[in-house]
Amino acid sequence: MNVANNWQDYEILDMANGEKLEKWKNITLVRPDPQIIWKNKSFPQKWNKIDAKYNRSKTGGGSWEYTKKLPESWQVKYKNLTFNIKPMGFKHTGLFPEQAVNWDWMIEKIQNENRKIKVLNLFAYTGGATVACLFSGASVCHVDSSKGMVAWAKENVASSGLENKPVRYIVDDVIKFVNREIRRNNKYDAIIMDPPSYGRGTNGEVWQFEEKIYDLVQLCTNVLSDNPLFFLINSYTTGISSKVLENILKLNIKDNGKFSSGEIGLPMKESNLILPCGIYGRWEK
């Protein structure tokens, strides 16, 4: 497992009973996590200092319970990157800190190239990978169907001092956009995608991971340049093995290179426990 253990502004302080106790800079949150099926708290006293907790509803969804007034947003840093954190619906904060594993990998890959790299970031959310790739010197096309998430990504890019870097923001259904890029003969040296398990596009297009992922990867090979650098798939879809993602890449990318897959996770402070958070499949030159 690849563990994101280089954070300064984020920590898991404890985890038990389906919940994780996290510190985001100087704010402590409790959020549910389905992987945490053990019951013993390692540090019970730490749970007494909570700023906000997300409580799931039995009818679906949930809500935040605050023990003190929090700022509307605040910032956390990862190395040279800065992100804006906001408690939002369905337990999210706008950042998946375990993705730092992939940011480091992308930055190294891009900076080791003596050429300009064009990156296509699909299902790009609040732009963690976009910020990382811009920092590394690449140009990025950032695509997400949510106008609000794209606006948030712009905030993250600006907060990291990268607003003058070459980035294009697209609010659109990913499949429709890639088809347009094929018709325009636009090519990219690197593709990143972080598709949801289930979602809807800008005009109500239904996305189901198991049904759509193979066809999307196949489609995206039509916008890979003649000298591609990498192709990364992230997933949080329950029941899918990382090897499935690697197999899909192997079936669609005939170029010489290295295929790999695995889990990403987060360490718990003062502990040897690791929280598994997601999977990836990679092809790299």
Q: Give 61-73 pLDDT, tens digit per residue.
A: 899 999 999 999 9
Q: Are residues 117 and 69 in the same domain?
A: no
The pLDDT of residue 202 is 67
Does residue 84 form part of some domain? no
Q: Are residues 125 and 245 in the same domain?
A: yes
Residue 71's CATH number: 2.60.40.1180
How many domains are contained in the chain?
2
- Final residue before a domain boundary, out of 30, 50, 79: 79
Q: Are residues 30 and 144 in the same domain?
A: no
For residues 107 and 105, what is the distance between their CA atoms, to the nearest angstrom?
Answer: 6
Does residue 87 form part of some domain? no
Does residue 91 form part of some domain? no
For residues 155 and 14, what is the distance between their CA atoms, to the nearest angstrom?
Answer: 30
- Final residue before a domain boundary, out of 16, 51, 79: 79
Q: Are residues 147 and 50 in the same domain?
A: no
Q: Are residues 175 and 269 in the same domain?
A: yes
The pLDDT of residue 205 is 75
The pLDDT of residue 125 is 97
Does residue 85 form part of some domain? no
Q: HSE, CB side, 13 Å, CA atoms: give it for residue 144.
A: 22
Does residue 33 form part of some domain? yes
- Final residue before a domain boundary, out of 79, 111, 127: 79
Beta strand 10-16 with 2-3 is unpaired
Q: Are residues 60 and 136 in the same domain?
A: no
Positions of the chain with pLDDT under 50: none
The pLDDT of residue 97 is 98
The pLDDT of residue 191 is 98
Residue 98 burial (10 A CB sphere; 0-12, 13-18, 19+): buried
Tell me which residue of 284, 257, 264, 279 sits closest to 6, measured CA to CA.
264
Q: Are residues 68 and 103 in the same domain?
A: no
- Cα-based angle 267, 133, 107 (whole degrees, multiple of 5): 55
Q: What is the pLDDT of residues 170-187, one digit of tens each?
A: 999 999 999 999 999 999
Does residue 187 form part of some domain? yes
Q: Are residues 63 and 172 in the same domain?
A: no
Residue 136's CATH number: 3.40.50.150
Length of the chain in terms of residues written: 285
Does residue 90 form part of some domain? no
Q: Are residues 75 and 103 in the same domain?
A: no
Q: Are residues 212 and 272 in the same domain?
A: yes
Does residue 14 form part of some domain? yes
Q: Are residues 255 and 177 in the same domain?
A: yes
The pLDDT of residue 96 is 98
Q: Are residues 112 and 73 in the same domain?
A: no
Provide the domain limits for residue 33: 2-79
